[in-house]
Structure 1
Amino acid sequence: MPFTSPLPDVEIPDVSLYDLLFAGLADDDLERTAVVDGASGAATTYGALRAQIDLVAGALAARGIRPGDVVALHSPNVPAFVAVFHGILRAGATVTTVAALATGSDIARQLQDADARFLFTVSPLLPAALEGASGVGLDGEQIVVLDGADGYASLRDLLGESHPAPTVEIDPSTHLAVLPYSSGTTGRPKGVMLTHRNLVANVVQVVDHLDVQREDKLLAVLPFFHIYGMTVLLNLAMLRRATLVTMPRFDLTEFLRITQDERCTYLFIAPPIAVALAKHPLVDQYDLSSVRAILSGAAPLDGELGAAVGRRLDCVMLQGYGMTELSPVAQIIPFAATGIPLSSVGVTIPNVVCKLVDPETGAEIDYPDSGVSAPGELLVMGPNVMVGYLGNPGATAETIDADGWLHTGDIATVSAEGYVTVIDRLKELIKYKGYQVAPAELEALLLTHPGIADAAVIAGRDAEGEEVPKAFVVLQAGAELSEADVMAFVAEHVAPYKKVRQVAFLDVVPKSASGKILRKDLRAAEAVSA
């Protein structure tokens, strides 16, 4: 049966994202620091940022960009990203964010699929951007290199043109704000159509429960081009008038230095960073006492690992769950909550209804009067649910059913208190002799071994061609473990059918920019070696 949030519903303003975040800037907000470049320390105030946003919108309008047009933004986390992202929206256009490390062919496919008319990029990524742009016929007049490059306009050039922002009228419920592309970890990337209302709703749904304050400094290492960084970092910080400290890519030493030097108070991470914070000796060389809270998302975080991070940094540790198609948040552990296990993803957010269904039969799973429900696929309905996949009604119908329920593809349970625990992706479950084995459970266990720095688990194949749990293991520096050692360790802690039966050692586990394990890459390597 369906279940709702234990948190009260909230009123969702019927406004554009720009109006929500910037139209109401008070006089005492204008001189507050909005964004800091973590590498250089250069700061941008809220007043200067809004002026830049309006000037970007004006420059785009002067170049013929109109409401409904799509503009691509291909950049790592730098302060200019914030101004350009919101400038595109201020012009009434739709932003399609491109992964910073996308190849030229990847970029061409996305530009083609999104029908992008304009492209922003940065000089270090220019070769791939030009390859992608040339593949779809964008010329030099339709490309801006934010930090400057010979033959192309820069962001400074656009701001210097001093074109006023256009007057645009949009319907927040139907006007597409962003067109991010799904990660592709389970198939070819698809354009996810998210309206202004989707993004406004999700920020308003979570802002009071994450306890981000005006005085907070949020370290922004998770990419803004990914929906997690876009909503939970960029937009939430702007609404709270907090300060974003940007990092263009993750480097542990730089991450720790910036946290220390900028006195960052709130960290937003993915599980791979949690592993480093829990285990790496370098952490002890930095003063991280300013950190009061850490939120992990984008992939499942083991409760013991999260607790280890919280103890080591003496801070509140939180977890949430979402997906691009949900703008992205569906569940969170609220900052002020007590008693919610960190092994869960918390409670359903306001204004959202969920239910669990048996993935085999489609039958609804009963909500428990006590204890925990049977596992089932998590279905979600709410104002943060996407419109659909761009130009792909078939895939849309497979994901959002006729009754409006979005099928997440994740297997979860719910407790009588409303705590949701995500077990694993439906498509990732390993079927061993009729039993279902969740890779995430085995990965979490492997990470508790002091000699293991990182791990991933997929379905391998035995001599008869049947699925068996196979672990890919990265050893800690100086550690010595054999395949038999790894298998014996797991066997001590799990039921017999869950035992790891094959082991391979790696230098690094392949992961997406948002921190998800790229199991398809591991499966591809497995197929080549077979």
Structure 2
Amino acid sequence: MRQPLDPQTYDEPIFDALITARERFGDKEILEDQDRHPLTYTGLIRAAFVLGRKIAGMTEAEERVAVLLPSSSGVVVTFFALHAFARVPVMLNFTAGEANLKAAIKTAGVKKILSAKRFIQQAKLDELVDQLKTVAEIVWLDDLRASIKLPDKLYGLTAGAAPRRFRKKTDPDAPGVVLFTSGSFGAPKGVVLSQRNLVANARQISTHIHLKPEWVMFNPLPTFHCFGLTGGVILPLLSGLKAFQYPSPLHAKTITDLLPQVKASVLFATDTFLNQYARVAEPTDFSTLEFIVGGAEKVREETRALFNSKFGGPVILEGYGATEAAPVVAVNHPDRNRPGTVGQILPGMDYRLEPVPGIDAGGRLLLQGPNVMSGYITADDPRAVEPIEGGWLDTGDIVDVDGEGYVTIRGRAKRFAKIAGEMVSLTAVEGIAVAVWPDQRHAVVSVPDSRKGERLVLVTDNAAAEIAPMTEWARTNGVPELAVPRKIMKVGEVPVLGTGKTDYVAIQKMVEADKAA
């Protein structure tokens, strides 16, 4: 049975929730990054006030201000600096490319972008920034910090001692952040999450899984992705855990070396990155971890087997979420972990399944709850937030829920093909390729077919892939033959997004271009 969620625990703005956490857990070290200069709650609050006042001097109340930074103490300070003075952070995906970033800036109505010269130089984003300068002003945090003088520091000391007197008061239902969906199935959409949404989702997770304040949460995921922002930053800070931020999930060896050094207790990552970490890690690199949370994409059995055979654990808890739900919807529990499912839906959420023609098991998942977004924004009118029709969020996912509430993802509604009158899950078809070649990455898309309606195409980085082994596996495991792709497209690398999720938009374009050639 799901635990109840007390509405009073999330009925406060996010900066107030940070202050409440300091009052509850004491002035302990709470934030650190690769530079190894930890901040206490008070240090974070002071820094947010000092930087926030600088930003407030060049912006208006409730203005949306873009943030172009990697996971770091700096991005966390900047996020709370904006909230201290009632500005709205717009987290930009620096891996999305010029066109998507310009579209995001227009959609959100952004005038200024906060970034750091060191990051732009190290990430080799100079040309991108030059292009973004044509649509918004770049404000260098390096310059703002250099302008901080003694009066600013004295202000920070005073504000840090009495933060509720100095912070700009906001409503819990005021915007907390603007994020953009990953775009793995189409153009990214602007999502407005309220401050209540963010605080509520952190409370839902900590109600579902007991998190000990002495733990350290290691976050290598970007804060432009809701998993990295809520799970890697807001959840630990509001729950009394130190949040260790690392700027890129791609640095597998550095990350696995750091985990025992910082005594990491919980690691957030996607399956793609977890698989990479397991391959380069030393025997004791995961020894301090209580558990790993895997989200944003399906956790493969091959990844679990790799952790179990090589390290004897730690347990991987697969979860499920959506940007529109702030993002965590369901997650397994350390004591009730069922691989193959994404766990149980979090406290405080209601759900229903709508039948889908042609699909017998499960249905389309719709959600309600305090973590469900305020609405979408569009470039036509950036200030207008389009609320959810009927009050229920349509996730677009086909799921099955068993008698004990465990959720199994069957696939995206868009990720089904109709072949010879039968609905076929493209996610399940990918599972055939994964079962036959577990060490490679695979993706399946569909294209129109004059005879059967649609045809499956496997895109894989396995140069030796052939149809016959998949057909044999399907026959042996009772899978219909129509679920076996009839075409294989071999590539050097299967495209992925900056979050590690498969980039189906790019893959679909590749397949269609190959077909037209």
Give the alignment of 1:459-478 within 5 angstroms: 459-460=446-447, 464=451, 466-475=453-462
CA shift for structure 1 position 195: 0.8
> What's the secondary structure of 1:469's corresponding residue?
strand
For 1:381, give the aligned amino acid: Q
Query: 1:368-517, aligned counterparts within 5 Å?
Result: 374-391=361-378, 400-402=388-390, 404-449=391-436, 452-460=439-447, 464=451, 466-475=453-462, 480-493=464-477, 494-517=479-502
Q: How does 1:51-450 map to 2 (within 5 A)?
A: 51-66=46-61, 68-123=62-117, 124-125=119-120, 127-128=126-127, 130-138=129-137, 143-146=138-141, 148=142, 153-158=143-148, 161-162=152-153, 166-173=166-173, 175-249=174-248, 250-277=250-277, 280=279, 282-284=280-282, 287-302=285-300, 305-306=303-304, 308-310=306-308, 312-313=310-311, 314-336=313-335, 338=336, 340-360=337-357, 374-391=361-378, 400-402=388-390, 404-449=391-436
Alpha carbons 2:471, 2:481 under 8 Å: kept: no
Q: Structure 1 19/430 Cα, relative in aligned 2: closer, same or farther at 3 Å?
A: same
Q: Structure 1 pair 309/96, CA: closer, same or farther in 2 (3 Å)?
A: same
Instruction: Name the SS for the 1:507 alignment partner.
Output: coil
Query: Aligned AA for 2:255?
Result: F
Question: For the residues of structure 2 that align with 1:177 and 1:437, how far apart are their CA atoms?
Answer: 39
- The answer to whether the 8 Å contact 1:512/1:518 transfers is yes
Name the CA shift for 1:495/1:487 in 2 (closer, same or farther; >3 Å).
closer
Paired residue for 1:37?
Answer: 33
Does the aligned pair in 2 maintain the 1:33–1:44 contact within 8 Å? yes
Structure 1 residue 100: deviation in Å? 2.3
Normalising to structure 2: TM-score of the pair? 0.87
For the 8 Å contact 1:35–1:44, the answer to whether it is kept is yes
Provide the rounded CA distance (Å) in 1 between the counterparts of 2:75 and 2:245.
10
- Higher deviation after alignment, 299-308 or 427-436: 299-308
**Given residue 2 of structure 2, which amino acid in structure 1 is its aligned partner?**
P
**SS of 2:330's equivalent?**
strand
Please tell me the residue identity of whatever aligns with 1:408. T
**Partner letter of residue 193 of structure 1?**
V
CA distance in 2, matches of 1:351, 1:28: 24
Structure-2 change in CA distance of 1:451 and 1:95 (3 Å): closer
Q: CA deviation at 1:480?
A: 4.7
Deviation at 1:88, TM superposition (A): 0.7
CA distance in structure 1 between the partners assigned to 2:216 and 2:167 by the alignment: 33
Unaligned segments of structure 2, at least 5 residues: 160-165
Q: Deviations over 1:426-481 (max 9, x none)?
A: 01112221222222223334334456322111114557474223222224xxx854
Cα distance change of structure 1 residues 22 and 446 upon mapping to structure 2, 3 Å threshold: farther
Q: Distance in 2 between matches of 1:520 and 1:37?
A: 33
Distance 1:172 1:434 in 2: 49
Q: Deviation of residue 527 (structure 1)?
A: 1.2
Structure 1 residue matching 2:237: 3-state secondary structure = helix
Classify the secondary structure of the residue corresponding to 2:455: strand
**Residue deviations 1:340-360, cap 9 Å, x none?**
522111111111110100234
Deviation at 1:25, TM superposition (A): 1.1
> Which letter does structure 1 place at the counterpart of 2:417?
I
How many residue pairs match? The answer is 495
Cα distance change, pair 228–129 in 1 and its aligned pair in 2 (3 A): same
**Deviation digits for residues 158-189 of structure 1 (CA, Å, limit 9, x no counterpart):** 5874455654222112x111010112223222
Indicate conservation of the 8 Å contact 1:305/1:448, yes or no.
Answer: no
Which sections of structure 1, spanning at least 5 residues, go unmatched? Answer: 366-372
Q: Which residue of 2 aligns with 1:8?
A: 4
Letter in 2 for 1:198: N
CA distance in 2, matches of 1:59, 1:316: 44
CA 1:88–1:65: 2 relative to 1, 3 Å:
same
Is contact 2:216-2:242 (8 Å) kept?
yes
Code of the residue aligned with 2:227 in structure 1: it is Y
Aligned residue type for 1:58: R
Q: Secondary structure at the match of 2:489?
A: strand
CA contact under 8 A between 1:34 and 1:241: conserved in structure 2? yes
Whole-angstrom CA distance in 2 between matches of 1:28 and 1:344: 34
SS of structure 2 residue aligned to 1:113: helix
Residues 70 and 212 from structure 1, CA distance in 2 versus in 1: closer, same or farther, beyond 3 angstroms?
A: same
C-alpha spacing 1:327/1:495, structure 2 compared with 1 (3 Å): same
Query: Secondary structure at the residue paired with 2:446?
Result: strand
1:366-385 superposed Cα distances (whole Å, 9 cap, x missing partner): xxxxxxx8321000011111
Conservation of the 8 A alpha-carbon contact between 2:375 and 2:386: no
- SS for the counterpart of 2:17 is helix
- Cα shift readout 1:257-294 (whole Å, capped 9, x = no counterpart): 1223323221111121233356x3x2346532112200
CA RMSD of aligned residues (A): 2.9
For residues 3 and 484 of structure 2, the distance between their equivalents in structure 1, rounded to whole angstroms, comes to 39
Displacement after TM superposition at 1:228 (Å): 0.8
CA deviation string 1:245-264 (max 9, x = no partner) = 22211222122112233232
SS in 1 for 2:133: helix
Counterpart contact for 1:378–1:412, Cα < 8 Å: yes
Q: How far off its partner does 1:491 sit?
A: 4.7
Distance 1:254 1:453 in 2: 23
Taking a change above 3 Å as real, the CA distance of residues 310 and 228 of structure 1, as seen in their structure-2 partners, is farther
1:89 CA displacement: 1.2
Give how far 1:219 is off.
1.7
**Using a 3 Å threshold, how does the CA distance of structure 1 residues 289 and 137 change in structure 2: closer, same or farther?**
closer
Partner of 2:163: none
Deviation at 1:28, TM superposition (A): 6.9
Task: Indicate the larger mover: 419-428 or 96-105.
Answer: 96-105
CA distance in 1, matches of 2:399, 2:52: 43
CA distance in 1, matches of 2:242, 2:387: 36
Q: Give the secondary-structure state (helix, strand or coil) at the position aligned to 2:22.
A: coil
* Cα distance change of structure 1 residues 155 and 306 upon mapping to structure 2, 3 Å threshold: farther
Alpha-carbon separation, structure 2, partners of 1:129 and 1:450:
37
Which digits, 9 at most, give the CA deviation of each residue in 1:46-91, with x for residues without a partner?
322221112122212222431x111100111121011001111111
Contact 2:345 2:405 in 1 (8 A): yes
Q: More deviation in 449-458 or 250-259?
A: 449-458
Does the C-alpha gap of structure 1 residues 483 and 244 become closer, same or farther in structure 2, counting only changes over 3 Å? Answer: same
> How far apart in 1 are the matches of 2:37 and 2:374?
38
Report the secondary structure of 2:320's partner residue. strand
Is the Cα contact below 8 Å between 1:452 and 1:473 reproduced in 2? no
